Amino acid sequence: MLVGAFLIRYLLQPYIEPYAPFHFFIVACLFISYLYGYKLALIATVISSLLGSYFFVKPYFTLGPASVSDVIQFFNFSFVTFVSILLIEHLQRTAYARDMTLKIMDSRHKITLYRENDRIYFSKKNSEAWAILEEILTDFDDIILLQFAQAPVKLEPLFLALANSPTRLETETQWQSLLHPEDVGVLMSRLAAPVRAIGETANFTLRFVNQTTSAPCAVQMESYSFMGQPLKILRIVRD
């Protein structure tokens, strides 16, 4: 860029001699300051002052002796260029600081949005969890059994009462022997079925081997997703 300014001024030398020996160099130095920073611009200013004084200030092709007007032109070029470079550097630093501030504000805004989304998500999850717990605790006496995730089936006292089996069961699967063989498969398939909708229900009947009446018991299977795991609740349907 500095070479371009020198070539243009050198080609125009026959037409504008001896005027404006440094004007093209001022433009070149300002462009250098804008594109590459003030350090290279200051170096370009020193080089420009030497080139302008040597080639375009009388006597040509020498650096001396200098007249008063030459000294004034030199200091005018140096002062204007130096002040302009400092001003450009200040403006660039201000623009950079503004851009960084905007980026930081944008980043903080995104973080705030992410945190708010997480808060809403966990609040919704907690609300769903409390709703399920409320559903379990409401009419808790109607619950026959529960199963959470892959844990064994948790029997409630009502199951043993319906099966006329007051004694404690010794194994985790012994409870299946208290049901009619045909109903065991139905119940196990319901327990193994994936949860398709929160709070979905399925009604069917169960027969207990030792029950006092011959009529099957009407039951309802409720399916939930609790803490990311399936939760099945089997209730008796009372008339």
- Per-residue pLDDT tens over the stretch 24-44: 899 999 999 989 988 999 999
Q: Which CATH architecture group holds 139-236?
A: 2-Layer Sandwich (3.30)
Residue 82: pLDDT band (50, 70, 90) is very high
Closest CA to 10 of 78, 44, 69, 61: 61
pLDDT one-digit tens code per residue, 135-149? 666 667 888 898 888
Q: What is the Cα–Cα distance from 158 to 25, expressed in whole angstroms?
A: 98
Confidence (pLDDT) at 131 = 65
Residue 58: pLDDT band (50, 70, 90) is confident
In the block, residue with structure tokens 């503004």: 98
Bridge partner residues of 220 (DSSP):
203, 235
Count the alpha carbons within 13 Å of 211 in the hemisphere toward its beta carbon. 17
pLDDT one-digit tens code per residue, 165-222? 766 777 788 888 888 888 988 899 888 888 887 778 889 999 888 776 667 889 988 8
Confidence (pLDDT) at 152 = 87
Bridge partner residues of 222 (DSSP):
201, 233
Q: Helices 2-11 and 23-36, interaxial angle, to 10°? A: 160
- In sequence order, which ranges of 56-164 are alpha helices (DSSP H)? 68-137, 157-162
Q: What is the Cα–Cα distance from 86 to 134, expressed in whole angstroms?
A: 71
Across 1-5, 105-109, 154-158, 195-199, least confident range: 195-199
**What's the mean pLDDT when you consider all of the chain?**
84
Helix, coil or strand: residue 124: helix
Confidence (pLDDT) at 214 = 66
Give the DSSP letter of residue 22: S
In the chain, where are the structural domains located? Answer: 2-98, 139-236
Q: What is the Cα–Cα distance from 225 to 199, expressed in whole angstroms?
A: 8
Structure tokens belonging to residue 55: 């080639």
CA 92 to chain centre: 30
Across 14-18, 79-83, 93-97, 145-149, least confident range: 14-18
**132 vs 217: which has the higher pLDDT:** 217
Scored b (16 or more CB within 10 A) or e, 14-23 reads eeeeeebbbe
Residue 71: pLDDT band (50, 70, 90) is confident
Q: What is the Cα–Cα distance from 138 to 133, expressed in whole angstroms?
A: 8
Closest CA to 187 of 175, 198, 197: 175
Quick check: 133 pLDDT over 80? no
